[in-house]
Each structure stands twice: as C-alpha cells, then as structure tokens.
A and B are shown apart, each in its own frame.
Chain A
Amino acid sequence: MLSKGPNPQLNAGGELQHLLTLEGMPAAIIERILDTAVPFVSIAERDVKKVPLLRGKTVFNLFFENSTRTRTTFEIAAKRLSADVININVGVSSTSKGETLLDTIDNLVAMNADMFVVRHGQSGAPHLIAQHLSARQRSHIHVINAGDGRHAHPTQGLLDLFTIRHYKHEFSRLSVAIVGDVLHSRVARSLIHGLTTMGVPEIRAIGPHTLLPTAVEKMGVRVFHDMKTGLAGCDVIVMLRLQTERMKGSLLPSAGEFFKHYGLTADKLALAKPDAIVMHPGPMNRGVEIDSAVADGKHSVILPQVTFGIAVRMAVMSILAGG
C-alpha cells in the first residue's frame, strides 16, 4: 500500500493553511475558529460593521457551481474584514471556453490573489487546487472549500457546530439527528466529522436506504430508517436539503412520499427533547423535508445559522490570513 500523505490543509507546524475538510481536523483548531467567531457576531450588530484584518488582501470567490447564498455570505464575511472581493462565476466563464480548472487558478494567481473560496461540483477540486499551489510554490495563497461535490462543506459544518454550541453550550452529552439525503450531502459529511471530533456521543443518520451511503456506520453514526424512533430524545435535529433530481434517479418515488416518512412535522418534533433545536443548511424545501410550522416555529434556529455563518467565515478567513 502507498503511504497516504499528511493532511494537506495543515502546514508543517500543524497550523491551518487551507480549509478543505473537517475530517481529521484537530479539536483545538475547531475550537479556535468557533471562539474567534464569537466577537464577529457582535461586529455585525454595530453601525460600522468592518474590521481591518484583511485590508489590502484580495479574495476570489470562485464558484464553479451556482450558489447565491453561500457566495453572498463569503462575500459579506470578506468585506467585513476589509478585503477586496472578486466574484467569479466560472460556470458561465472560462471553463465553458475550454480552460482547465488549474489554468484558471494560474491566471488568478498571476493577478496576485491571496485567498480562493472555491465551490465545485466535483469532490476533491479544492484539494487539487491546494496541491497545485504548493507544487508551484504558492503556498501563501489560502484555499477555502465552499463545497465540493458530495465531499465536504467545512464552513457549513463549522457554522453548524457554532450554532449547536451557542444553544446547547457544550457537545459531550448531546444526541444529534441528521435527517434525509446523507448520500449526496457534503453538509452531512462535514457535520458528522465535526461532531465526532468535538465529542458528541450520539450521532444519528435517518433516511431510506437509497439516501444513505452503504458504509455510513463507518463514520460513527447510528442508522435509523424510522423517523420517529430516530428522533426520540434528540437535542439537535439537522434537516438536509432534498434535491428535486433525486426523484428522477429512482432514489425516491415522490416528494410527497418523502415528506410522509421523513418530513419534519410538529408531531415528529414532539418526540425529540422539549428544548430541541431544528437546523437546516438552506435553501429549504417547505413541504418536502420540513413543514412550515416547524421551519418558522420556536425550535427553529435556521435564520440564526445564517447570521452565525458570516461570523464563522470571518473567523476562518482571519485565522488563515494570520489574524
């Protein structure tokens, strides 16, 4: 067997060089990011919402896959840190003219980029970019994975951890249920790694066989196919977004039947702990994975997640930039 190299997101000193995945990320680094994010939440509540931590730095939002929300939150995060932000929607740009991913990167490096925020439809694309930068002796340029294929969405995982810590104060006695399309979900993978590292004793994955990876137990989760059993006594419920194309690939018969089995309704929510919180990475499909009464109800922390997301992304960017 070949030897698997060191985690490419840490530098030789074990510090964060890129943010590519939460898999294998030391708890101390996660804690530092979460702690750093706390004061950034209050900055957003001030009249002047800017700090100069990234002044003079150029951040490229490089989105090979459409996303309005994630791109916007990264843009706001970088601007509140006083960086110059350039949004490049590559889906309608150079790669459609035949330029390769790494050619695009080389061109942006020549424009003296300091940080790339990358969203790509293929798992591993941000790793490829990070490895390319280090092969070209451009390791001072940081890569933040803003979602790659089914692999990872580490800033979402971190903001989920931030939200859970905010409302539950600690991790070591929690039971967290993740419901829905785990198979295609980078959000679920990152969250599971993050929860495991932070010592959450019980992580449950709830869904039909068609939406759970064959080896999902190997990630340290308990599998439930019945939502009611799975939600019993939970502290945190994370609903995943169900893409409509899942109905075409014989994974599900219909959105209606999915909602019947796995949609979060007030009835099902009542089985969780009385103070359970309900999370969702967005954008939500009301009536598919979540009932409006729950999404807008008192257990829902879905909008605070968005607010915390900006603070967490500011924390990641400032730590990468050496702040």
Chain B
Amino acid sequence: MKIEINNGRLIDPRDGIDKKTSLFIAAGKVAAIGSAPPTWHANRVIDAAGMVVCPGLIDISARLREPGFEYKATLESELQAAIAGGVTSLACPPDTDPPLDEPGLVEMLKHRARSLNLAHVYPIGALTAGLKGETITEMGELTDAGCIAFSHADAPLADTQVLLRAMQYAATFGYRVWLRPQDAHLSRGGVAHDGEVGMRLGLPAIPACAETIALGTIFALARVTGSAVHLARLSTHEGVACVRDAKRAGLAVTCDVAINHLHLCDADIGWFDAHCRLVPPLRGVPDRNALRAGLADGTIDVLCSDHTPVDDDGKQLPFAEAEPGATGLELLLPLTLKWAREDRVPLASALARVTADPARVLGVDAGHLAVGAPADICIFDPDQRWAVLPGALKSQGKNTPFLGLELQGKVRYTLVGGQIVHEG
C-alpha cells in the first residue's frame, strides 16, 4: 500500500519540520518527504489541504480495562477510541484485575492488541505482586513479555524499603520505574484538594505536601539507586517546583501531567460534579497555571490523557464514593490544541508533548516522521469544532468533565504502520 499525503502542514516536532509539503508512505514506513521517490505510484492520495499532518499521538497512560473490567470497556472499544483520537501508541497502567504482574497476562494483552491491528499497546508491568506493595515482580520475565516500564499505578506503596529495593532491582537491569508521587498516609481517605472548595463542600482533603513529600522520597531513592524514574501525574505548583529543581540539579527524571489537570481546577467540581472525581484531585488555580507553565518550559515532559473509562453507575454516586477517572483518548488532541492556543505555545512545541517526548519517555522508535520511521500518522483539522457528546465518543466510557462542551480540532485520518485505520 502506497499512500501520498498532499497539501497538508507537515509538523515533525522532533526533527524541527513545520511546512506545507507532501509525505510519501510505502511498506509501512515513511518513504519520502517533499518529492516522491523514483517510480512512485500511489494507491491512495489524501488531500490534506487545511489540515495538519503529524506523527501519531502517543498516550502514556490509557486504561484499556482488560483484563478484569470488560463491563467498563474492552480492548477493542478503547483502541477504536485511540485511533479516533489520532493516538497510534499507548501505554497502559498495570491496575487491571488481576494486575499486570504475570508474564502470561502481558503476553495475552499484547497478543489481543496485535490481532486487533489498531494502535500499538505498550503494557506497564506491576512493580509489586498484586500491586500490594510487598514483594517485587519478575521484572525480567515481564520485560520479555512486552512491558516497557514498571509502576504502581494509583495503588499506595507506603513501604519505603520495598520501594528502595524495587528501584535497586530495576536499576540493575535498566528497567524504567514510573511512580505517582503521592504519600500513602497523607492521601488516605482524601478526595479533594485541601483548599477553599473542598472545605466548603466538606470533602476530605489531600494536602499538596502529600505530593512534595513523595517527590522528596523518590528523588532521594533515585539518587541512591541510579534508577530511571518517570513521575506520573503531577498536580501541584509545589510539585512542579520540586521537579524543576531536581532536573536543574542533574537528576535524570521525567514527568507528565494529565489533560484534566492542565485545564481544570477544584472550582470545577461545582456542586459535587462526579465527573471531576479524579486521581490526583483537581487542585487550585495556581496549581493549574504552574502545570501549564511547566509543560510549556519542559519541566513537565509529557501530556497524557490518563484515559480511564468509567460507566454511569460508577459516577451516579455521592462525590467521594464515585469511581475516579474520565475518558480521554479522544480528547487528548483537542485539549493539547486548546492549551497551545490559550497559552500561545507554538503548535509544533505543543505537539512534541504528545509525540516525540512520550516516545523518549517510553524508549520506543515512534513519534517522528523521518524517512524510514514507522508510518504512524495523525492528520487533523485544527479548526473543526465538535461537541463532546456520548454519541461522538467511541470509548465505552462516556464520562468526562468536558461532556457537553465544544472543542476544536478533529482527527480526520489515522495511520498505523502505513495503513489507514481511521477516517473521520
């Protein structure tokens, strides 16, 4: 299959390309940029006039709910959502049921994903057996099965000795460790930011120091062990400052923020809107502003959707009892564009946070369009507006704080491995 994409604005953030030009795809790879290769004859020509052609998005946190939560979502429904959102690669956290702590589970997941032939799936293995925080997993076997990193998802890991040993072990073999910085004790029972909104609504609070204390612990352990650490879901301005200082001091850490925390704050909970029941909790306006600035200046490396499909039953409950999470795969692109527009971030820089930068964090050859690169491509209309309504979403999870709002930026074509897997 040879595909020719003409008249689009080609943006490859990694290689600094941002111009109107043609892209030629053959044998699943980028064959040429600008002028056609010799003896070129396209099977399919896409007219991308008025559209942006960029590397397929890479979402480093998308829960696919398999195995164990198939009633909430299936691999197929969520991978359809991924390609509809222009996401061609995603990493899935290990908090399935059972958790991804056995090679067989990971192999099954990889096999199922491959047979669907939609987006690439990179499982993140559980750091401890059953995510119980007691014994470390067979990281070597899990890596051979396809895990690209190890994390504890949102499960508490209170025992610092276990964390130290898990990081020591991972560092021995060069495995990446992803950690969500939240002190298990200080966050116990909390569902909202420790601020005016949570106080007025009478919601148990999680103080900002739950994040900074955990960051301090993780940084100390990273220095001792030499482990490569990725920090998942920063939420506070104090946390952003800690990461900025650690990076300046030369510590090799990367970190991410989720789309909801980039755009929303605790005031959006309104009158107990369970769509805003998220982990970590939505924090104050200064926190949100610091997260946006941190993402723009590179303190925060990656923007992710933290896609978590939750059914209506999980949300039709009093706020604290509601299941945390929101659907996000199909909102990652428009919410990246919204941030770029609002904060005057150049489009190529903004797209880097969902393409080249997550590829670097995952350590995979993706997120760029150099000749010979895998032809995972997103073609989107940056101006098209669409309403976030249940019927517009492929994901089985329809719940998001953005439900009912109009967003700008719609994916028109998604290519994975040189095949058109989505046309919208």
Contact = CB atoms under 8 A, between A and B. Distances in A.
Interface of A: 1-2, 4-5, 7-8, 23, 100-102, 120, 122-125, 127-128, 131-132, 148-152, 186, 189, 213-216, 218-219
B268 A1 contact: yes
Interface stretch (B22-30, B141-149, B191-199, B296-304): B191-199
Contacts of B195: 214-215
Q: Of residues A23, A124, A218, which shows the largest number of chain B Cβ atoms within 10 Å of its Cβ?
A: A124
A218 to B, nearest CB: 4
B316 A102 contact: yes
Nearest to B265: A1
A8 B272 CA distance: 11
A123 B320 contact: yes
Given A123-B318, A128-B316, A189 B202 contact: yes
Contacts of A216: 199
A150 B201 CA distance: 8
Contacts of A148: 202, 318
A4 B194 contact: no
A152 B271 CA distance: 12
A127 B204 CA distance: 17
B271 A218 contact: no
Given A1-B267, A4-B271, A124 B318 contact: yes
Interface in B294-351: 313, 316-321
B133 interface: no
A219 B196 CA distance: 8
Given A1-B265, A1-B267, A127-B271, A23 B318 contact: no
Nearest to A216: B199
B317 A215 contact: no
A217 to B, nearest CB: 9
A219 B200 contact: yes
B199 A128 contact: no
B321 A122 contact: yes
B271 A5 contact: yes
B405 A100 contact: no
B200 A189 contact: yes
Interface string B384-424: 00000000000000000110010000000000000000000
Q: Of residues B199, B265, B270, which shows the largest number of chain A Cβ atoms within 10 Å of its Cβ?
A: B199
A88 B194 CA distance: 34
A215 B199 contact: yes
B199 A218 contact: yes
Band of interface residues on B: 20 to 34
Contacts of B221: none
A124 B271 contact: yes
Contacts of A150: 202-204
A1 B264 contact: yes
A123 B201 contact: yes
A100 B271 contact: no
Contacts of A127: 271-272
A151 B204 CA distance: 10
Contact of A151 (B201, B205, B313): B201
Nearest to B401: A2
Interface in B184-226: 194-196, 199-205, 207
A127 B203 CA distance: 14
A243 B264 CA distance: 35
A214 B199 contact: yes
Contacts of B196: 215, 218-219
Contacts of A2: 264, 268, 270, 401-402, 405
A124 B205 CA distance: 15
State the 7 A-B residue pairs at the shortest beta-carbon distance, nearest first.
A150-B202, A151-B202, A124-B272, A122-B318, A123-B202, A4-B270, A213-B199
Given A101-B318, A148-B202, A149-B318, 9 more contacts: A1-B263, A100-B313, A101-B317, A122-B321, A127-B271, A128-B274, A128-B317, A215-B194, A219-B200
B268 A123 contact: no
Contact of A219 (B199, B316, B319, B321): B199
Nearest to B316: A102
Q: Of residues A8, A101, A128, A189, which shows the largest number of chain B Cβ atoms within 10 Å of its Cβ?
A: A128
Contacts of B270: 2, 4-5
30 contacts: A2-B270, A2-B401, A2-B402, A2-B405, A4-B268, A4-B270, A5-B270, A7-B271, A8-B271, A101-B317, A122-B319, A122-B320, A122-B321, A123-B203, A123-B272, A124-B201, A124-B318, A124-B319, A125-B318, A127-B272, A128-B274, A128-B316, A149-B203, A150-B203, A214-B199, A214-B205, A215-B195, A215-B199, A216-B199, A219-B200
